[in-house]
Amino acid sequence: MQRVIVVGGGLAGVRAVEALRSKGYEGALTLVSAERHLPYDRPPLSKAVLAGESDDTTVDADWDSLRCDLLLGERATGLRLAEPGRGGVVASTAGDLPFDGLVIATGAAPVTLPGDGRQHVLRTIDDARDLRSRLSGGARIVIIGAGWIGAEVATTAAARSCAVTVVEAADTPLANAIGPEVGALTAPWYAEAGVELRTGVKVAEVRDGGVLLAGGEEIPADVVVAGIGVRPDLSWLEGSGLLLERGVVTDAAFRAHQGEEEPGSARPDVVAVGDCAAWWSGRYGRRLLVEHWDTALNAPDVAAAALLGQDAAYDAAPYFWSEQFGRMVQYAGSHAASERLVHRGDPSGRKWAVVWLTGDRLDAILTVDRPRDLVQARRIIAAGTPVDPDAVADPEVPVRQA
């Protein structure tokens, strides 16, 4: 392999560059990214950056020793593929970029709502700086969506003495991510922080001066923030022949499928990784699209190995965290097919956890200010060893294998 192009300069992109070099790739390497900034970390954007405690989250990479050409502020606009294994050409705003190895790491972009009114999103450092400048005391902030981002923005806006209303279409916060039963346990945190939470309420459109609800009511606002999720922007890959669903469909080593998803259809010369990849998880026997930092950090190592023709597969259980309303919330595993939920401590208290079990198998855990539980459970989830369901319900007993 002589020429690798990495498209997307987020965490997955820079980690792919580092992994290729650390695995001995000596050929030409180019990173193309739509943003003008060097790759930076996004989690602090809705935390320290929004709070004004930090302004620079650039990833600490040694670009000289990585010998990587950076095409910043340039966007991939199309992809023409040769026969599998023979590379192709990325069409971009900087011209045609031929490659024999391609890493697709274009992440995801925020979803927005209908309407002509200004709606802020929070994906880039520029978004964060812009929103931060508007969070002045007394400003009326309406946040649409009580998901991870919505809760974190509400936390900071309330701490900056804004009048904050969060509008959520589901009946509880975080219903999609962790289910309504556990999501409901976080609802009291909003009132405690002085934030008005309105659930079961749909926004019809964003207008100048506020949001119009589906029922006809208008909520006035100085600033409207849409925190209703993200979607990979795969428009530049349309017509390329790659299999696209919500993300780029890949095998367990992040090799992109061409045509149908069937044995042998994964290309050896194209990988997709990070928020834009829908990868096959052997652990769960289904495809996962994980829009979290830990996957963007660790998966590129496997993708780089695959691109260099080495045997590789990614088998990690998902992990993420959120810092909201003065609490550290962490989650590991996947509860999508779990049999039951077990509480570990009183959820009206400051520190508690819940675990999802199937028989004596620990599928997933969510912890609130119980980092040790998270670490112990994560190890057990990774190993797949059984737990004692009674012991795991006792917050005084460490999470351990039966």
Tell me which residues touch ligand FAD (CB under 6 A): 7-13, 32-35, 42-43, 45-46, 75-76, 105-108, 122-123, 149, 233, 236, 274-275, 291-294, 296, 320-322
CB of 328 to ligand FAD, least distance (A): 10
Residue 372 near residue 382, CB atoms below 8 Å: no
CB of 224 to ligand FAD, least distance (A): 17
Q: Which is nearer to ligand FAD, 271 or 357 (CB)?
A: 271
List Cα–Cα distances, 360 to 175, 227, 242, 252, in angstroms: 25, 36, 40, 27
Q: Which is nearer to ligand FAD, 107 or 210 (CB)?
A: 107
The DSSP bridge partners found for residue 278 are: 249
Q: Which is nearer to ligand FAD, 76 or 178 (CB)?
A: 76
**Which one-letter amino acid corresponds to residue 230?**
V
Alpha-carbon distance of 51 to 121, in angstroms, equals 16
And the tokens for 373?
A: 């539980």
CB of 331 to ligand FAD, least distance (A): 9
CB of 137 to ligand FAD, least distance (A): 23
Q: Which is nearer to ligand FAD, 231 or 351 (CB)?
A: 231
Task: Return phi, psi of residue 100, to 5°.
Answer: -115, -5
Alpha-carbon distance of 10 to 275, in angstroms, equals 10
Q: Which is nearer to ligand FAD, 35 or 100 (CB)?
A: 35
Would strands 140-144 and 248-250 be described as parallel, antiparallel, or unpaired? unpaired
Residue 247 near residue 273, CB atoms below 8 Å: no
CB of 217 to ligand FAD, least distance (A): 29
CB of 161 to ligand FAD, least distance (A): 21
Secondary structure class of 137 (helix, strand, coil): coil
Q: Which is nearer to ligand FAD, 35 or 301 (CB)?
A: 35
And the tokens for 92?
A: 């971009």
Secondary structure class of 270 (helix, strand, coil): strand
